[in-house]
Structure 1
Amino acid sequence: MSVTSSPPRTLQTSRLLRRFLQQHRGDSIRLRDLFQSMGSRAFGPTLLVCSLPEALPLPIAGVSAIFGIPLMLVSAQLILGFSKPWLPGWIANRSFKRVQFEKIINKGLHYLEKIERLVQPRWRFATTPGAERLLGLLLLVLAIVIALPIPFANMLPAIAILLISLGMIEGDGALIVVGVLSSCVLLAVLVGAISTLVPAGKALLAKLLAKLPG
């Protein structure tokens, strides 16, 4: 009589990040090493790691710029149906100080571990390859919003990306749907705000130009 054992559960993302900190003791950390340490989980971990610095209230100079471009590239690759994320060498080999990375991860783990207690595989329709390609389009739009020079506009889109990516990692379609709905509300508010501010800005500019000596 043969006994079939179920496949071992993969480590949660928070544990992988803790293990990475324990195994890499250098003064600097490369993006390539970070992404490779997350294992073969495809796009989810890469998106999560790239969005984490933006989702936290930590004003660390330079870190956002390092992760912004990979976030857009990986989102575009998800739309195109890549089997796994790819980053050019000039991005993958970029490094930043370990002290900065530890500050981001330790702060992020506080929230990440709480969310991980709630996630579970469910609502599989939101985790199919076709659904993930549609998610890539939404993620790309959110990544562009993050890249725009809008004060205080980075955190909410990054939180939405973080929720979606964690749902992709754990196969939790419900969490993905929560992230999608949050993104739609956020984008609707942003579009409404822009549509209000642009005419007001044009009117103000017209008044200023009218006051200039002819």
Structure 2
Amino acid sequence: MHMNHLANRLRDAAGALPPGPVPLAALAEAHGGAWQASLLVLLSAPCLLPIPGVGSVLSLGLALLAAMLWLWPHEALPPRLARVHLPREGAARSLDLLARFYDRLQPMTRSRWTPLAGRTARWWLAPLTLAMAVLIFLPIPFGNLLPAVSLMLAGVALLARDGVLMLGAVGVAAGALASSATFLALGWQAGAALLGWA
């Protein structure tokens, strides 16, 4: 889906929300079947902030999303999740923020190398999302940054069908895995030395 079209669609949906709580099904419908990609962006973005506990909580949501990417390849939300309601103000704010975010990203994205960012991408994007969720969950100093950037790039790549951007997301994920493994190895060695195990 073209980013400008999606941004306008979300902006219109934000202004047309009915009074009262809004079901998640309505928000998913506003995305025109692209709710999984937007959910990647929404759950990953707060992990960039150095707020204690945010990553631990949202990593669980990302792990659940990884399972949905693998097991639920449908445009509609799973029925149980579709019946969850959000306050109208929060729903409208989320749609408006996503619309502005996609507007800014539009000049940097375009449909290219689409097989890497199409429907079949879920077969490898699901395990990648789960791996990044685990890294976000681990208490590694500044360890949330690269995994969150990787998942945000992947979400935008899915929306824009941008295979080049998806390759960038995979590259950032590889860097996240490498840096986290290095930190954990150094931490293990330091702990072993302190305890006299080395």
TM-score by length of 2: 0.75
Q: Do 1:71 and 1:143's aligned partners in 2 also have CA atoms closer than 8 Å?
A: yes
Identity %: 22
Task: Tell me the residue number matched to 2:68.
Answer: 77
1:195 aligns with 2:185: yes
Distance 1:111 1:172, change over 3 A: same
1:48 aligned to which of 36, 41, 48: 41
CA deviation map 1:90-147 (0-9, x unaligned): 79626468469838964x6665433221211111231244433112211111122223
Task: Tell me the residue number matched to 1:37.
Answer: 30
CA deviation map 1:30-51 (0-9, x unaligned): 6444333222226322322322
1:126 aligns with 2:119: no
Higher helix share: 2
* Distance across 2 between alignment mates of 1:50 and 1:102: 15
* Distance across 2 between alignment mates of 1:99 and 1:148: 29
Task: Tell me the residue number matched to 1:89.
Answer: 80
Task: Tell me the residue number matched to 1:19.
Answer: 12
TM-score by length of 1: 0.70
* Distance across 2 between alignment mates of 1:170 and 1:84: 16
**Larger relative contact order (CA 8 Å, sep ≥ 6):** 2
Structure showing greater Rg: 1
Distance 1:126 1:90, change over 3 A: closer
* Distance across 1 between alignment mates of 2:10 and 2:85: 18
CA apart distance, 1:180:
0.6
Q: Do 1:73 and 1:87's aligned partners in 2 also have CA atoms closer than 8 Å?
A: no
The alignment covers a number of residue pairs equal to 196
CA deviation map 1:164-189 (0-9, x unaligned): 11111111101101111111012111
* Distance across 2 between alignment mates of 1:52 and 1:120: 21
Amino acid at match of 2:70: I
Amino acid at match of 1:36: E
CA-based RMSD: 3.7
Task: Tell me the residue number matched to 1:115.
Answer: 105
